[in-house]
């Protein structure tokens, strides 16, 4: 705790000397030193309160007392590996099973979402005997080498695409090839996956799995058209592969209507593997893979033990159980539906008022606001989004951006985020956008045809480069 009294500049200096610069900070030009969290709020070393609209890891709220107490009480008694019998791990598996379709009845416990997706890849390859993976464009599934290889968001800046990885278009009905005016975008995007599979098979490749976030997040807070995943699953299974639903950022009631985001596809849709992480432990390192008996038996048939030193330990499972308790007792899934609908409605009103807002999309407390430079081309307003996030920080609100153009404001706050919080954020957003439209040329010319946009001499071009601020990672 003594380090809390260290000056912010000294902390930053130590970080720069001791940590790699690739470990980036939010707001790198003016980083925030956070020393405390509670609920949906974070506090800096000066005691200033920031509303956290980013942190989907602190799922039920920063430092929730029930979760903290569960970890503390179990730590006082025992923490060891899962090779000993212990009630917590089986109790936790049973509680999770009650939230999932009956077929998903076998659980593996791990420490992170990356570990979970890596294991899912191993399970799929062992079950199918195949190697190749189909993923969505701009996807991110984790930081292990195996997952960088299936994450276009990362591999395009590194070693490039492996021959066993096949990329299908992101099912984005706002700026993708099949948009909101298409008669059947779900079928059109699913046909693209079918085409990707066929092309791979013509080269002698065999598909092990299709990996997708149930709601693509890094891709820009995307809501796939209804029916898309069901049709993709048919194509993948016909090719001998499995469907892996990555729920690491979007599970545990965040979508409001359902406990799992894949359930938005309908009650008859059941993935072969579901991966969980981040919110599962409210900040404690817990993750899980759920799969079918058939997939698990194929993995067991190798005779090779699966062991994870910390996965499923008594403390982690106590934390996981506490998170489920809080979700239930505080009715946070229904809360997410209610507050999310309210926030979507008020953001949509801002869309009607501010031409820079091209699209508002989401469900529950998973919402994206797509900022554009022009209506016709829907050009990403990257610099404007960066400026807006910086201005919100000045108003003690943490928000960040995502999407290929880094222009989509992403709302994924702790689930205790309130109606008052939503109203406050929208009011500040309105104030800042109104000010931008008065001061920044690019925001005033959004309704003009792109070819006619001109900038005054000495301006910084179509963005807001004259503003201070930085793009969060």
Give alpha helix (H) positions in 330-440.
332-353, 382-394, 419-439
Over range 363-392, report the average pLDDT: 95
For residue 233, give both structure tokens. Answer: 């699953």
Which band of pLDDT confidence, cut at 50, 70 and 90, is reported for residue 83? very high
Say if residue 451's pLDDT is above 60: no
Architecture, CATH, for domain 65-329:
3-Layer(aba) Sandwich (3.40)
Kindly report, residue by residue over 185-217, the tens digit of the pLDDT: 999 999 999 999 999 999 999 999 999 999 999
Over range 324-342, report the average pLDDT: 98
Give the percent of the chain with pLDDT over 90: 89
Residue 369 has phi, psi (to 5 degrees) of -120, 110
What's the confidence (pLDDT) of residue 440? Answer: 66
Over range 370-388, report the average pLDDT: 94
Q: Where in the chain is the domain with CATH 3.90.1150.10?
A: 331-465
Q: Measuring CA to CA, which residue among 92, 43, 61 is closest to residue 336?
A: 61
Which band of pLDDT confidence, cut at 50, 70 and 90, is reported for residue 4? low
For residue 338, give both structure tokens. Answer: 């209610």
Over range 227-240, report the average pLDDT: 98
Helix 314-329 × helix 65-77 angle, to 10°: 150
Sheet holding 49-52, edge to edge: 34-38, 41-44, 49-52, 397-398
Say if residue 181's pLDDT is above 70: yes
Which band of pLDDT confidence, cut at 50, 70 and 90, is reported for residue 444? low
Q: What is the mean pLDDT of the chain?
A: 92
The DSSP letter of residue 13 is H
What distance in Å separates the CA atoms of residue 387 and residue 351, rounded to the nearest whole number? 18
| CATH class label, 331-465 | alpha beta
Kindly report, residue by residue over 96-135, the tens digit of the pLDDT: 999 999 999 999 999 999 999 999 999 999 999 999 999 9
Say if residue 136's pLDDT is above 60: yes
What's the confidence (pLDDT) of residue 437? Answer: 85
Say if residue 443's pLDDT is above 80: no
Q: Where in the chain is the domain with CATH 3.40.640.10?
A: 65-329
Q: Are 174 and 180 in contact (CB under 8 A)?
A: yes
pTM: 0.91
């Amino acid at each position: 705790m003594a380090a809390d009294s260290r000056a912010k500049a000294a902390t930053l200096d130590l970080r720069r000397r001791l940590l790699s610069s690739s470990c980036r900070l939010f707001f790198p030009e003016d980083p925030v030193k956070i020393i405390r969290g509670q609920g949906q709020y974070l506090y800096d070393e000066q005691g200033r309160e920031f509303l956290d609209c980013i942190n989907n890891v602190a799922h039920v709220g920063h430092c929730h007392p029930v979760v903290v107490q569960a970890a503390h009480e179990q730590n006082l008694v025992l923490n060891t590996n899962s090779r000993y019998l212990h009630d917590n791990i089986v109790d936790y598996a049973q509680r999770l099973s009650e939230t999932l379709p009956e077929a998903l009845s076998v659980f593996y416990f791990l420490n992170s979402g990356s570990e979970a997706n890596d294991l899912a890849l191993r399970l799929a390859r062992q079950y199918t005997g195949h190697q190749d993976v189909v993923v969505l464009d701009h996807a991110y599934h984790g930081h292990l080498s195996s997952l960088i290889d299936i994450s276009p968001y990362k591999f395009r800046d590194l070693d490039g695409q492996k021959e066993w990885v096949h990329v299908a278009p992101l099912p984005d009905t706002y700026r993708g090839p099949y948009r909101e005016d298409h008669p059947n975008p779900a079928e059109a995007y699913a046909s693209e996956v079918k085409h990707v599979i066929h092309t791979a098979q013509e080269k002698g490749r065999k598909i092990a799995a299709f990996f997708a976030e149930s709601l693509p997040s890094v891709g820009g807070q995307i809501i796939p058209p209804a029916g898309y995943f069901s049709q993709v699953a048919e194509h993948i299974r016909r090719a001998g592969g499995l469907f892996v639903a990555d729920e690491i950022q979007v599970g545990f009631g965040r979508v409001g209507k359902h406990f799992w985001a894949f359930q938005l596809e309908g009650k008859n849709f059941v993935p072969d593997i579901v991966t969980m992480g981040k919110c599962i432990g409210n900040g404690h390192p817990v993750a899980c893979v759920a799969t079918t008996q058939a997939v698990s038996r194929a993995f067991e048939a190798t005779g090779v033990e699966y062991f994870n030193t910390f996965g499923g330990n008594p403390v982690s499972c106590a934390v996981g159980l506490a998170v489920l308790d809080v979700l239930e007792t505080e009715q946070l899934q229904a809360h997410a539906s209610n507050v999310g609908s309210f926030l979507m409605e008020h953001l949509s009103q801002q869309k009607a008022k501010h031409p820079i807002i091209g699209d508002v999309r989401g469900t529950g407390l998973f919402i994206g606001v797509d900022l554009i430079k022009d209506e016709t081309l829907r050009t990403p307003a990257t610099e404007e989004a960066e400026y807006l996030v910086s201005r919100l920080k000045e108003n003690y609100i943490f928000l960040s951006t995502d999407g290929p153009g880094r222009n989509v404001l992403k709302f994924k706050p702790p689930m205790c985020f309130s109606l008052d919080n939503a109203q406050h954020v929208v009011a500040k957003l309105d104030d800042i956008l109104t000010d931008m439209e008065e001061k920044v040329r690019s925001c005033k010319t959004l309704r003009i045809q792109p070819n006619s946009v001109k900038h005054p001499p000495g301006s910084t071009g179509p963005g807001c480069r004259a503003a201070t601020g930085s793009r969060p990672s």
